[in-house]
């Protein structure tokens, strides 16, 4: 989410001389913690606010979907929710058990604290202790490179990044979820089940310059920036 806000900030600075938008990265937990402490005027969270965070005010600027990816050479075309749960908890360890080739599954998981992991766990009703991973990755790119380099790997990354890399020719395939294809279109229309809102967080309902900036980030002036980062803008 930070690269997007960096670009939006630059454009906002150009349109509003004299303002400076300082963007710092560190994940949703930090975005929310820094907003709570007053260290930041606006926090970034790539998820919806939880009921425990209802003291804060969130404004959605775009949508992002999380897609399950496998290697392109893998003949699997769809996995059910329970199959994915079983693979990630180590009850299924060979592709053969889900109708694929006889090969051990390499499970790629995200490091703790990342909102992608939190959203994934929440959707599949898993806890970090249940997961039996073979590879733990930091960012989406590392996840995509890992799956592209291992014909028997399974991972989950941001759909925008995965679709971009697949178009660029990397040997990865996005799997549909509950019969809904993982694509920017299904995320945009809100029918893809595993998606997340990219949220700007403030301590109170935004006013003044903060309000101007958030409205700018939600406006159609920045849709090209959102699309260029492979996220999905709000519907007009």
Partner 1 sequence: MAWGAASLLLFIIGFVVLESWPALSHIGLWRLFLDAGWFPTEQSYQLTPMVTGTMFAAIGSIFLAAPLGILSAVFCHFYAPPILGLWFRRMVEILAGIPSVVFGFWGLVVLVPPIAAWHPPGPSLLAGILILTLMILPTIMLIAHSSISQVPTSYIQSATALGLSRSAVIWRIILPVSRRGLLTGTFLGLARALGETMAILMVCGNVVQHPSHLFDPIRTLTANIALEMAYAVDHHRSALFLSGLILMMLVMAVVILAEAFHQKTPYAAAK
Distance CA(120)–CA(9), nearest Å, equals 29
Q: Restricting to residues 86-105, which ones interact with partner 1 according to CB under 8 A? A: 103-104
For partner 1, which is the closer residue by CB, 29 or 210? 29
> In whole angstroms, how close is the CB of 158 to partner 1 at the nearest point?
16
Number of residues that bind partner 1 (CB under 8 A): 31
Distances (CA, A) of 35 to 22, 117, 202: 14, 22, 6
Among 80, 99, 101, 113, binds partner 1 (CB under 8 A): 113
**Please, what is the minimum distance in Å from the beta carbon of residue 50 to partner 1?**
13
Subset of 150-209 contacting partner 1 (CB under 8 A) = 150-153
Looking at the Cβ atoms of 86 and 234, the one nearer to partner 1 is: 86
Residue 128 interacts with partner 1 (CB under 8 A)?
yes
Binding status of residue 46 toward partner 1 by CB under 8 A: no
Binding flag, residue 112, partner 1 (CB under 8 A): yes
Stretch that binds partner 1, among 13-21, 27-35, 51-59, 221-229 (CB under 8 A): 27-35
Q: Counting contacts by CB under 8 A, is residue 67 touching partner 1?
A: no
Where do the DSSP E strands lie in the chain? Answer: 43-45, 57-71, 106-110, 135-137, 153-158, 172-175, 195-202, 232-233
C-alpha to C-alpha distance for 150 and 73, rounded to whole angstroms: 10
Distance CA 196, CA 62 (A): 9
Whole-number Å distance between alpha carbons of 116 and 37 = 24
Binding part of the chain for partner 1, among 54-62, 147-155, 185-193, 220-228 by CB under 8 A, reads 147-155
Kindly indicate which of the ranges 82-90, 129-137, 160-168, 208-216 contains the residues binding partner 1, using the contact rule CB under 8 A.
Answer: 129-137
Judged by phi (left if over 0) then psi (alpha if -120 to 50, else beta), residue 111 lies in beta
d(CA 53, CA 118): 15
Does position 30 interact with partner 1 (CB under 8 A)? The reply is yes
């Amino acid at each position: 989410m930070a690269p997007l806000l960096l670009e939006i900030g630059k454009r906002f600075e150009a349109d509003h001389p004299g303002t400076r938008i300082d963007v710092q990265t560190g994940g949703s937990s930090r975005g929310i913690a820094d907003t709570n402490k007053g260290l930041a005027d606006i926090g970034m969270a790539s998820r919806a606010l939880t009921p425990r965070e209802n003291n804060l005010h969130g404004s959605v600027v775009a949508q992002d979907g999380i897609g399950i990816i496998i290697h392109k050479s893998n003949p699997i075309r769809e996995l059910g929710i329970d199959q994915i749960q079983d693979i990630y908890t180590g009850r299924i360890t060979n592709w053969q058990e889900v109708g694929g080739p006889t090969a051990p599954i390499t499970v790629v998981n995200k490091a703790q604290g990342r909102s992608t992991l939190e959203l994934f766990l929440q959707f599949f009703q898993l806890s970090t202790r249940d997961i039996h991973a073979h590879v733990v990755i930091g960012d989406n790119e590392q996840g995509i490179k890992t799956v592209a380099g291992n014909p028997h790997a399974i991972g989950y990354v941001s759909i925008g990044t995965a679709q971009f890399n697949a178009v660029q020719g990397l040997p990865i395939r996005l799997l549909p979820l509950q019969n809904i294809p993982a694509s920017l279109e299904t995320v945009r229309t809100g029918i893809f089940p595993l998606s997340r809102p990219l949220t700007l967080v403030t301590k109170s309902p935004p006013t003044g310059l903060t309000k101007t900036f958030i409205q700018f980030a939600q406006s159609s002036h920045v849709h090209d920036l959102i699309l260029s980062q492979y996220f999905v803008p709000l519907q007009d």
